[in-house]
Structure 1
Amino acid sequence: MNKIMPLARRGISSSRLALGCMPFGGGWDQTPFTDEHVKEAEAAVDAALSIGITMFDHADIYTKGKAEQVFGRVLNNRPELRDQIVIQSKCGIQLGDDELPGRFNFSKEHILHSVDGSLERLGTDYLDILLLHRPDPLVEPDEVAEAFASLKASGKVRYFGVSNMSAAQIAFLQQAIPDSFAVNQLEMSLGHLHFVDQGVHVNQAAGTAVNFAEGLMEYCRTQNIQLQAWGPLAQGKFSGRDVKDQPEHIQEAAQLVQQLANEKETTPEAIVLGWLMRHPAMIQPIIGTTNPQRIKACKDAERQSQLMTREEWYTLYVSARGESMP
């Protein structure tokens, strides 16, 4: 059964996979990026494009702004790319320094300032999508609404979304913001199963250990909000990383992933992502690597999601969680 991504229903033409650009530009310090960092980013972008990836995920804070700067250099070298891709960035986190701690900021002034900074670093006139990065306890929805209205009216941002938010937090913001959110980006993977466990453990004592907002998956699906997964490859736990120091069930799940990859003549990455994409919510994985070979290893993920049986999906789930179903 062919399904349509929530982004597509809004007229946003995006690939099923996206490339996370957090590693671009070097370290999270004040060391300037180099031409080598630009070449590394270009190689990652080329690898992504070669497997059909057209969405690139950023945030104003990634490598302290260098990630967007490096991507901006890539676009400057190849300006024709801008009309072929979707650029998504985030704002709302302020990194700590010698005087102040790390904090969140959804004030109108900060949102507008952050977007202007992202546009300057990226060398583009607009963002396709802007996400609020993490919930700000001091948020005033009307102030966010004013910022979004200004950004949309000026053409600086086309669509808006959130990251790491519950259904209640989204609904609280939405009552002041006329444009419905397009995206909610959350940690979801075969190694971070709370998004599945939350539903499975309704009326179960085991549910007290689950850290995922109740009803969030259902809310996003009902509201046509694209669910995006950060960390979808689980830091390579199931696709090649040495897991000898991991619990036995993780080792067994990694072996199962490799077994399925061998049987289906594909890669472990495609199996891990295919498992996530098999979920009927049409989850969009944001793969976060600059390694061209690893990016290309994800090429078969969508096909594997279509081929994966219910039995294979549950076998992987139960293996990775290390406990039988309730």
Structure 2
Amino acid sequence: MQKLGKTGLEVSRIALGCMRMASLEASAAQVVVKTALENGITFFDHADIYGGGESELRFAAAVNELGIRREEYILQSKCGIRKGYFDFSKEHILTSVDEILKRLGTDYLDVLALHRPDALMEPEEVAEAFSQLKQAGKVRHFGVSNQNSYQMELLQSYLDEPLVVNQLQFSPAHTPLIDMGLHVNMKEDGATVRDGGVLDYCRLKGVTVQAWSPFLIDLQRGIFVDHPDYANLNQTIERLAAQYHVSREAIVVAWILRHPAKIQTIVGSMNPDRLANIAAAEQVTLTRPEWYDIYTSAGNSLP
């Protein structure tokens, strides 16, 4: 367990991303939720666009059928993505939250995060929406997703309370979060600051980074597991999995959890056995050489 941002919330270090839950039958969704909770995963991440809202409905039905009390789990959802554009307007945020709460069958969200950055964001409007939601008891904490440090700083300057999360893509095969920190003052691509130093910014501000898609290369090439372009990485992961007597997926998640930023990892598996195997990552603490071995095996270089 770990603290979420500057809140008093104790949350599981591994979270279940529910994007694919819409594809499950009701009974299968119940098994996934039950498996997550039995393995210490108490944080569930949603978004209003996941399955067109169906993922939230399936989750709500599952916890209701299982008789799980609301205080036994943490709920996060996201809004701001619309068909063909992004929308952080006050009206859209307020409407989205009401619809999210209805689908999830709950009175409140523990966390609301703004999804992909809206270039037309008016921070005053967002602040008004957040304030109204907080006062109404509909949302307890707020965060963002896929934003850089200055986007966060701009929004934060209008808010009365701190942002608590930033959800960012991070995996051994997708490492912009840490590349430039390892290549400071180098004349090479890895030294390019692509995100405004957002990882260090979040650490300074006490914001929890949530790593999404920990097995993804990118949206075009898919996952790196068994991918021919990442043979060395897969071999390294397989060796460490055998050494620690855990699954390959657990080693990948353990690699993320090993970072001192206390990154919360969001996994999206709807396979109960795989989910239970992933949860074993909590029991693995990689050494420094092992951590760097995974990093360089993915094709990343050190100066």
TM-score grouping bracket, smaller chain normalisation:
over 0.9
1:198 offset after TM fit, Å?
Answer: 2.1
Q: Which of 38, 41, 58 pairs up with 1:50?
A: 38
The residue that corresponds to 1:14 in the other structure is 11
Give the partner amino acid of 2:71. Answer: D
Change (3 A) 1:79 1:116: farther
Q: In the alignment, is the contact (CA less than 8 A) between 2:30 and 2:63 conserved in 1?
A: no
The structure 1 residue matched to 2:276, chosen from 275, 296, 314, is 296
Residue 224 of structure 1 and its aligned partner are, at CA, apart by 0.5
Alignment map for 1:246-257 (pairs within 5 Å): 246-247=228-229, 250-257=230-237
Relative to structure 1, the CA distance from residue 80 to residue 263 in structure 2 (aligned partners, 3 Å threshold; closer, same or farther) is closer
Distance in 1, matches of 2:283 and 2:171, equals 18
Count of matched residue pairs: 299
Q: CA deviation at 1:309?
A: 0.7
Deviations 1:241-284 (A, max 9, x none): 432xx32xx10110111111111211111111111111000000
Q: Hey, what does 1:39 align to over in structure 2?
A: 27
1:318 aligns with 2:302: no
**One-letter amino acid of the structure 1 residue matched with residue 289 of structure 2:** E
User: AA paired with 1:242?
Assistant: D
CA 1:138 to 1:323, structure 2 compared with 1: closer, same or farther past 3 Å?
closer
8 Å CA contact 2:108–2:138 kept in 1: the answer is yes
Structure 1 residues 199-250: Cα deviation after superposition (integer angstroms, max 9, x where no partner): 1122223236857313211110011000000001337956xx432xx32xx1
Q: Distance in 2 between matches of 1:203 and 1:268?
A: 35
Do the aligned partners of 1:181 and 1:225 also contact (CA within 8 Å) in 2?
A: yes
Equivalent residues of 1:198, 1:214 under 8 A apart:
no
TM-superposed CA distance for 1:19, in Å, is 0.2
Q: Look up the SS of the partner of 1:185 in the other structure.
A: strand
Q: Does 1:145 align with 2:127?
A: yes
Distance (Å, rounded) in 1 between the aligned partners of 2:296 and 2:2: 27
Amino acid at match of 1:21: C
Change (3 A) 1:129 1:153: same
In structure 1, give the amino acid aligned to 2:13.
R
Deviations 1:298-321 (A, max 9, x none): 1221221xx31111111111111x
Number of the residue aligned with 2:76: 88
- State the Cα RMSD in Å: 1.8
Question: Where does residue 127 of structure 1 map in the other structure?
Answer: 109
The AA in structure 2 aligned to 1:87 is: L
CA contact (8 A) 1:25 1:70 kept: yes
| Structure 1 pair 228–323 and aligned structure 2 pair: CA distance change class (3 A) | closer
Which digits, 9 at most, give the CA deviation of each residue in 1:167-217, with x for residues without a partner?
A: 000000011111100100000011211111121122223236857313211
Q: Give the aligned partner of residue 287 of structure 1.
A: 267
**Cα deviation, residue 8, structure 1:** 6.7
202-211 or 61-70: which moved more? 202-211
Per the alignment, residue 99 of structure 1 pairs with none
CA–CA distance in structure 1, aligned partners of residues 42 and 300 of structure 2 = 37
| 5+ residue gaps, structure 1 | 27-35, 96-101
> Counterparts of 1:190-201 in structure 2 under 5 Å?
190-201=172-183
The residue aligned with 2:246 is: 266
Cα pair 1:5 1:226 within 8 Å, conserved: no
| Runs of 4+ residues over 6 Å off in structure 1 | none
* One-letter identity of the residue aligned with 1:105: D
User: In proportion to residue count, which structure has more strand?
Assistant: 2
Identity %: 46
Q: 63, 83, 89: which one pairs with 1:107?
A: 89
Once the 2 structures are TM-superposed, how far is the Cα of residue 81 of structure 1 from its aligned partner? 3.1
Counting only pairs closer than 5 Å after superposition, residues 111-260 of structure 1 correspond to structure 2 as 111-207=93-189, 212-234=194-216, 237=223, 241-243=225-227, 246-247=228-229, 250-260=230-240
The gaps in structure 2 that reach 5 residues or longer are: none
Corresponding position of 1:29: none
Q: 1:278 aligns with which of 258, 261, 281?
A: 258
> TM-score, normalized by length of structure 1?
0.87
Provide the TM-score with structure 2 as the length reference: 0.94
SS class of match (1:205): coil
- Contact in 1 for aligned 2:114/2:145 (Cα 8 Å): yes
- Residue 63 of structure 1 corresponds to 51
